[in-house]
Structure 1
Amino acid sequence: MTEDLLKSFQQAYRNLELLPLIEENDLRRFRVEYGEDTIDELIQLIEDSPNSDGKVVFTGHRGCGKSTLLAEFSRRIEDKYFVVLFSIADTIEMSDVNHINVLFSIAVNLMLEAEARQIDIPASTKNAIDKWFATRVRTEETNIEREASKDFNILKFFSVKLKVDSKIRYELKQEFERKISELIAQLNIIAAAIQAVTKKQILVILDDLDKLDLAVVNHLFKDNIKALCLPGFRIIYTIPIAALREKDLKPTIENETNDQVVAMPVLKLFKKGESHLPNARPFPKTLNILCEILTKRISPNLLKSSTAEKIVLNSGGVLRELIRISNECCRICLRLIRRKPEDKVIINDEILDQAINNIRNDFAMPLGSVDYRILQTTYNNFKPEDPKQQEFLDLLHGLYVLEYRNRQNWYDVHPIIVELLREEGLIDDSQ
């Protein structure tokens, strides 16, 4: 019995990895329908754009389900477009992302996808493209590797080196910093070659830019958005929700993309202000969606239904937080099973309280007095004093503050953070 229980929780723990649903098998097992309006908006912008080179910026809180939704979106339109979906986090060292290696990574991934699908690009064109890649860097290491193996693949070389080799990234920056037009021209040659064979227009979806630090995002999009918009094919870029609150960045992005900005909202559990009231009842539809996500990943005999609802409420409607809380609960249960094999272990309110405390402590560590004042103001007024203040943007980026959308946007403090405010005497529940 203990061994069966252990295996059941181990399976639930594996099901609760903080990863997007990209693979077909994962989508089949865990996908719950949500975000249909957002998918419809993306399809409309891509299919109805008067130009074949339109750029779309896709934003939302980290962990709100953007990557899973983009994977589903790409599946729905792959019959009409040659879709290349890849993560910048898998391609480039995140602390060293710039517009040059972003564009170069698009070139590499376009060709890798063409190879994977066995697109029969004419040999002369393919050889010319490979030669262009091979002459972009001139490190001795490159020459050694190319000569050492007959099967050397320059595309796979770059797909690895962009991630791990700072020297390669530096060489690319030096190579193209003053001749970005050459890089764009080569991107367009690659896209045209693929399009000529497939008879499909190109769509590149560049995910996980929203996971970059705000300073990197600011430099990437504010200073170099014109370069990112130059390729002659459709591209969807992701950015963090906090970046669109930067006073100089938002108008720049809207202007350069012709206002093609799509925001994926957090799943809203309450009307504005109702979550602060005792015995408040959440929207049944949202509650059911989030509970369904849990039941697809955790066997019902491992989780009390009333506790499942409390997990949902503590997530604030953010999918990442729903999974993170549940994952922490499973970790606690797995330790208990090994420590007390004779006990019947289930995720109940006591286990949830332990998980919440652990996550709250993680949240609390970086907070200072300025942060607490901003959180207090946001909790009381559903907005900060200054939504452009960098400390507020950092709190928004870190999920301490959540943005919700009605006719007007409003903000609330992450439910797990509310108890921290109470402990600091910053919330008066008697009012």
Structure 2
Amino acid sequence: MSEDLLKAFQQAYRNLELLPLIEQNDLDQFRVDYGNEVIEELEQLVEDSPNGDGKIIFTGHTGCGKSTLLAEFSRRLEERYFVVLFSISDTIEMSDVNHVNILFAIAVNLMYEAEARQVEIPKSTKDAFYKWFATRTKTETESLDAEVSTGFDLLTLFKGVLKVNAAVRNEIKQEFERKISDLVARINEIAAVIQVAIRKEILVLIDDLDKLELGRVNDIYRDNIKALCQPNLRIIYTIPIAVLRDKFLRPLIETETNDQIVVMPVLKLFEKGQSRQTNPQPRAQAKDVLSEILHKRIADELIKPQATEQIVLNSGGVLRELIRIANECCRIALRLIRRKPGQLVIIDEQILDEAVNNIRNDFAVPLGKVDYAILQTTYKNFMPDDPKELDFLDLLHGLYVLEYRNRKNWYDVHPIVVELLRDQGLINGSQPII
């Protein structure tokens, strides 16, 4: 076994685990110039908020780079704002997220960041906040009064209880569901104290709400969007892109946020219909961005140029799919190195074909007859019969279907899923990417 080759692929494999890019050193090493127009759009809405309490909806396909972009955006604004960026999945069990614990998570994370950055808040005020949190999270301490001086540790404890204790979350929901104004008032009080102390306005960014199941998203926003928009501070909420196709939810969200919706598009590798042509040529700018992402993670000597290009094309322009395919290739390569010591291993067409086939099989497992019919129609017409149909929205949410944006929006089937349609005899006359 070539130890150097093994270590090189292990490093590439580790590099491919670094999405999204949150930490500054990861951003410095792997960040590619991408999404600046989206950042500018978010910045305009934040900076020009008439009352300083605008609510912004940020959406896009799962894995299109929203988390990395939010981290970059937060760093750009941290000199001007007290920025609080957190993932809802780090605070609340994802299967139990609701509007009450989203708001409670805002309160906890505001105080957590204030302690982490050593914001000077009067001790009596902090003591009152900690006792309030402790009561709601049923935190048992021998002497809370003696421990409030170590607020950072105490807030870490509160966050842990909120994350793992379903009974606590349920009690918080029961307490505030019918008096949400009390919870909002506490958020506003915490925010006001921080703003006075640091003389900066507050910006909260809540990531990973877009990863919730569509049914739960519907429950959260359908009846509770007004509550989520009540706090007197700027907040950016992430939501699944499929929500924008919901004929009831979208108008609600537009009304309550003053139509402040920012969509992060998928990188468009082909103009509408071009991928169906013989020897289609991808758009150079999109191809170059995706290729650079791979080059920053996989050493050139570990992958053939043709394999890089095919990984890019099979990604459909979705960053996470690009990483997913490359990651699978590295896993296969690492197994080959151990299986055949001394043999030169490089990511080539054969390894890529195996990787794509594995991913295609994963895509195939949940599909039924109705799904295939929707995918067939979408492939042929670049649009389903009904883009508001729940089955289509589930396919959109699951990346079986990708949304692209020109002057008019259009849809296409994920490149890896296209071969499933061909296997079913639902399409013909076009060649697979690999």
Aligned equivalent of 1:245: 245
State the Cα distance separating 1:157 from its structure 2 match: 2.1
State the Cα distance separating 1:136 from its structure 2 match: 2.0
Give 2:140's aligned amino acid: N
1:144 and 1:113, CA in 2 relative to 1: closer, same or farther beyond 3 A?
Answer: closer
Q: Deviations over 1:129-183 (max 9, x none)?
A: 122222224x4xx335656985685422220011111011011011111111110
Aligned equivalent of 1:323: 323
TM-score normalised by structure 2 residue count: 0.96
What SS does the corresponding residue of 1:143 show, helix, strand or coil? coil
Percent of aligned pairs sharing the same letter: 68
Written as runs of structure 1 = structure 2, the 5 A alignment for 1:31-430 is 31-137=31-137, 139=138, 142-143=139-140, 150=147, 153-429=153-429
What SS does the corresponding residue of 2:263 show, helix, strand or coil? strand
What SS does the corresponding residue of 1:103 show, helix, strand or coil? helix
Taking the aligned partners of 1:147 and 1:131, their CA distance within structure 2 comes to 7
Range with bigger deviation, 20-29 or 158-167: 158-167
Q: Is the 8 A contact 1:18 1:320 kept in 2?
A: no
Gaps of 5+ in 2: none
Taking the aligned partners of 1:100 and 1:410, their CA distance within structure 2 comes to 36
Aligned equivalent of 2:24: 24
Q: Is the 8 A contact 1:18 1:324 kept in 2?
A: no
Taking the aligned partners of 1:375 and 1:383, their CA distance within structure 2 comes to 9
State the Cα distance separating 1:430 from its structure 2 match: 6.9
Taking the aligned partners of 1:344 and 1:146, their CA distance within structure 2 comes to 63
Taking the aligned partners of 1:2 and 1:148, their CA distance within structure 2 comes to 60
What SS does the corresponding residue of 1:337 show, helix, strand or coil? helix
Q: Deviations over 1:283-320 (max 9, x none)?
A: 01111110000000000000111110000000000000
State the Cα distance separating 1:18 from its structure 2 match: 5.8
Q: Is the 8 A contact 2:94 2:212 kept in 1?
A: yes
Gaps of 5+ in 1: none
Give 1:214's aligned amino acid: L
Q: Deviations over 1:330-368 (max 9, x none)?
A: 000000000001210000011000000000000000000
Give 2:299's aligned amino acid: S
Taking the aligned partners of 1:379 and 1:90, their CA distance within structure 2 comes to 37
Q: Is the 8 A contact 2:131 2:144 kept in 1?
A: no
Taking the aligned partners of 2:142 and 2:260, their CA distance within structure 1 comes to 43
TM-score normalised by structure 1 residue count: 0.97
Taking the aligned partners of 1:143 and 1:129, their CA distance within structure 2 comes to 16
Range with bigger deviation, 116-125 or 148-157: 148-157
Q: Is the 8 A contact 1:191 1:202 kept in 2?
A: yes
How many residues matched?
Answer: 428
Give 1:319's aligned amino acid: L
State the Cα distance separating 1:222 from its structure 2 match: 1.4
Q: Is the 8 A contact 2:222 2:252 kept in 1?
A: yes
Range with bigger deviation, 13-22 or 348-357: 13-22
Taking the aligned partners of 2:171 and 2:430, their CA distance within structure 1 comes to 62
Q: Deviations over 1:50-94 (max 9, x none)?
A: 111100000000000000000001111111100000000111000
1:7 aligns with 2:7: yes
Q: Is the 8 A contact 2:18 2:26 kept in 1?
A: no
Range with bigger deviation, 168-177 or 120-129: 120-129
What SS does the corresponding residue of 1:297 show, helix, strand or coil? coil
Q: Is the 8 A contact 2:269 2:316 kept in 1?
A: yes
Taking the aligned partners of 1:290 and 1:143, their CA distance within structure 2 comes to 50
Give 2:260's aligned amino acid: Q
State the Cα distance separating 1:123 from its structure 2 match: 1.5
